[in-house]
Chain A
Amino acid sequence: MRLSFHVRVYITLRPSVLDPAGAAVTRNLQHLGYGVAEVRIGKYVEFTLEAMSETDATAQVEALCDQVLTNPVVETYRYDLLPAPVSAQS
């Protein structure tokens, strides 16, 4: 039986990579009086995935993150793998 998952991927720049957009937002927030420091801006990607098992789903998510969704040279990621909401079954 195929299982459905809901996947949330959080992508951020590696700490060693300069994030000029994050730096600009940091300065702006500080200018407004917020005690904010070290803003890092990333990406959020969500999708549904069908897989044979949770192990299979994990393998697929990591493969597609490494291959497509992120560039490992400059980015890292983490993800949540959730059971998809169960739809009405016949």
Chain B
Amino acid sequence: MRARLGGLPTFVLLVGAAYCLFPVAWVVVAATKSTGELFSTTTLSVGTSLLANLGELGSYRDGVFWRWMANSALYAGLGALLSAALSGVTGYALAKYSFRGRALIFNGLLAGVLVPAVVLAIPQYLLLSKVGLTDTYLSVLVPGVISPYGIYLARVYAAASVPEDVVEAARTDGASELRILTSVALPMMVPGLVTVFLFQFVSIWNNFMLPYIMLGDDGKFPVTLGLYTMLKQGNTTPALYTLVVTGALVSVLPLIALFLTLQRYWRIDLLSGAVKA
């Protein structure tokens, strides 16, 4: 039994890894092909036009692609940073204080997870259009700051990583609640908050629905939406497919880099604090 164990399970895992890496490998190879090669050569044979494709992508409509990338970085970077901070403060308060309305606030936030993005984005759009704020950076940035899922995770982390007696000791020493939060609790929660930041970064970078509904001016598009509009035009201009594929590759590189460099923060503990609380 022991002897057989090494082989088959390792094989199964490697098959899973191959399945997950295959489309990524495909896009790397496909990005090297010219439009003609994309539809004529065998899938995994490398083409000759990577640099030409990148150059064409960069000059497509005066470099709008790089503008989309910069927009995505702004929406995801700033949004996730603010979201991690907000989740940290809120999660700590929900985990470490008992106060009237705590259960109501927590359950209300959790219920927010259940509301589909489309269902939310349509009335958000209608309400913002009444005050003339649609098609602005803020209309995409602000909704990304509040993340019920991030607050839930932060609460789990606060419950698990901030010991009660440390908070009590600081209190006995006369530290204010704000000071306890900023110099005792939040520093202890940093690893968890990095995880929240990563999740929110990926989720904003990947968000398609909200910008799709909010934005009309393609100078404000994030890269996902920009590539989608290019794909739609590809129906009539197949030459765009090459650019879409190359753009897809470029657009996932920052995420893959973030993923590999911060991989030890990808621990998703949905339960440890929640069950005890």
Query: Do A and B interact?
Result: no
Chain B residues with a Cβ under 8 A of chain A: none
Chain A residues with a Cβ under 8 A of chain B: none
